[in-house]
Amino acid sequence: MKSIVRNILLPAAIAIFIAAVLFGALPLPGIQAIGIVTHPNDIFAEIYQTASPSVVAISVAAEEGAGGGSGFVIDRDGHIVTNAHVVDEADEIVVEFLEGAIVRAKLVGSDLSSDLAVLKVDVPADQLQPIAFANSDQLTVGQTVLAIGSPFRQGWTLTSGIISAVDRTIQGLTEFSIGGVIQTDASINPGNSGGPLINLDGEVIGVNSQIISAARSSAGVGFAIPSNLTQRVAESLIQTGEMTYSYLGISGFDVNISAIESLELPNDFRGVVIREVVDDGPSADAGLREITRMLNLDDKIVGMRADIITAVDGTPIKGMDDLITYLARHTAPQQEVTLSILRDGERELEIAIELGSR
């Protein structure tokens, strides 16, 4: 009889307890009751209402046809940031604001290396709503982000996601790569280019620029130029009309299994193997060496001589992404930096190099 009563009462008690937890009468053990939490959609709506007046839709006309993208206002002087590829070779640039104003814009400057450009519109200051920048050096993977833009010409569209990765490297519009790039799964499509990627404080953390997709539509892998680089480029374009970058004068690749085995390195060793040193460049002048592979008769690598960059100014470098990002964030032409080099897997060197300019 007792077992029958227990079999009836115990499940009922558990059900009552679960119901009490779900409806807020009881907190879960070890968890404090926190009251009503604002739904994320409410937060997104508030951010959109605040940020969307800063975002513009951009239409361009060129000899090869028409196109467009997005952008955002950065000051009350009428400066607007967008992607260089949105306005590249445009004969006419037209900007539309959320409240309906449509004006012509002129190109202040374009930087193909970072795929960024600055436009200027002649609009009264009190009709402009600049958006603030966040510090992109403080971003974390998993952080919630929002994108506002005009995908497929559908203006002022809001999408959400997270930061999928930081410090990615993507190809710019030149032979040089862009470092420190933000990867996100927020939906980004053609037309979003140049629009802002925003944090939950309503601040710009990046400029939406590229996607990886065979279908040219969102596949959950989008990239944004980081806000710190964006500010640096925008300021330079406004002041001088151009942007200059430091130049090391090498090509390289991440330490791989061949380098580890040939140079008898620890299997967790990281750095940049110098593949090529450009003649008469800063690295050549400083005496850095290109990789030399020793092959047997079957063309298999049996030995290697190589300079490996392990740090810049004491900051560890795990691979090319780290090296490109460090140079973009922290250096300028004619600045002297100190490279930590492991030569031939044996000698540790500290080599001072005066950086050149691209």
Catalytic residues: 85, 115, 193
Angle between helices 227-240 and 320-330 (to 10 degrees): 40
Rounded Cα distance between 123 and 100, Å, is 13
Radius of gyration of the chain, Cα coordinates, nearest whole angstrom: 26
Q: Is 313 left (phi over 0), alpha (psi -120 to 50) or beta?
A: left
Structure tokens at 241: 């009309």
Residue whose tokens read 């907190």:
27
Asked if 71 and 111 touch (Cβ cutoff 8 Å), the reply is: no
Structure tokens at 267: 């299997």
Residues whose CB falls within 8 Å of the CB of residue 296, separated by 6 or more in sequence, listed in order: 302
Residue whose tokens read 């967790």:
268
| Strand 204-211 to 196-198 pairing | antiparallel
Rounded Cα distance between 39 and 134, Å, is 24
Asked if 318 and 270 touch (Cβ cutoff 8 Å), the reply is: yes
| 358: three-class secondary structure by DSSP | coil
| Strand 292-295 to 301-305 pairing | antiparallel
Asked if 253 and 306 touch (Cβ cutoff 8 Å), the reply is: no
Asked if 66 and 58 touch (Cβ cutoff 8 Å), the reply is: no
| 227: three-class secondary structure by DSSP | helix
CB-based burial, 89-127: b 16+ in 10 Å, e otherwise: ebeebbbbbeeeeeeebebbbbbebbbbbbbbbebeeee
Residues whose CB falls within 8 Å of the CB of residue 320, separated by 6 or more in sequence, listed in order: 169, 177, 252, 253, 254, 272
